[in-house]
Amino acid sequence: MDQLDEELLMLLATDLDRYFEQLMLAYQHQLHAFVLRLLYSQARRDLQEMSASCQQEAEDIVQDAFIRAYYALQTYPVQLVQALKLRSWLYKITLNVFYNRVRKTRLSLVSFDAVEDGALHDIEDEQQEQPDVVLESVERRHELEMAVATLPERYCVIVTLYYFEDLSYREIAELLGLPIGSVKSSMHRGIQLLRTALDAQKNETR
């Protein structure tokens, strides 16, 4: 766990009302960016125009997530607060709020488990298939973000958590309640789709 997270958890366990604002200041911007990427992906799939409404929706989701986090912390004993994996816990709350908000669009977390794990060793052995190769070839972060937004949500979530939110495979697996092999397989497939999307963008600009 990050040392700052450990210190923050100690403060929250001591005086939640006094130090909760520090939690919000520490995480609100990255949670907002996380939700915004998911909303952009959702808007693309629904053929909706990305607009300021996504910004407002992201702010509402993050605010709701913090409210839920606050009330949860109120009920937790001190030992549980201090033992939390703070970042993963906050992302899980935020992701649940997001799914609740857009449930009518039939989100697809369940289909993660349908991904086969058989090719995992090949994935790890083949350098050309590693995600870092794709990222190193992207000149601008914005270009990559827009390409990630075109991915099916099952892959968009995992790629976003891993590359933009810096969560490990294990943290993502725990957050989503999935086997780590399914997370790695979904990452592999997501990167393949991302590479295709980036190639298509390059061809369009030629």
The per-residue DSSP string of the chain comes to --HHHHHHHHHHHH-HHHHHHHHHHHHHHHHHHHHHHHHHHHHHHTTPPP-HHHHHHHHHHHHHHHHHHHHHHHHS-HHHHHH--HHHHHHHHHHHHHHHHTGGG---GGGGGGS--TTHHHHHH-GGG-HHHHHHT-S-HHHHHHHHTTS-HHHHHHHIIIIIS---HHHHHHHHT--HHHHHHHHHHHHHHHHHHHHHHHHHH-
Residue pLDDT, tens place only, 134-182: 555 445 666 777 778 778 888 889 988 988 888 889 999 989 889 999 9
- pLDDT of 123 strictly over 80: no
What is the pTM assigned to this prediction? Answer: 0.72
Q: Kindly state the tokens that stand for 179.
A: 């086997």
User: Mean pLDDT across the stretch 117-134?
Assistant: 43
> What pLDDT does 119 receive?
37
Location of structure tokens 């909706």:
48
Domains and CATH numbers, the chain: 3-105 (1.10.1740.10), 109-205 (1.10.10.10)
- pLDDT of 51 strictly over 90: no
Alpha-carbon gap, residue 5 to 85, rounded angstroms? 8
Residue pLDDT, tens place only, 63-89: 999 999 999 999 999 999 999 989 999
Cβ–Cβ < 8 Å for 160, 40: no
Q: What percentage of residues in the chain have a pLDDT greater than 70?
A: 72
> What pLDDT does 66 receive?
96
Q: Which residue has the higher pLDDT, 114 or 34?
A: 34
**Residue 15: pLDDT band by 50, 70, 90 thresholds?**
very high
Cβ–Cβ < 8 Å for 143, 201: yes
Crossing angle, helix 169-176 and helix 180-205, to 10 degrees? 110
- pLDDT of 195 strictly over 90: no
Alpha-carbon gap, residue 75 to 77, rounded angstroms? 7
Residue pLDDT, tens place only, 87-98: 999 999 999 999
Average pLDDT value for the chain: 78
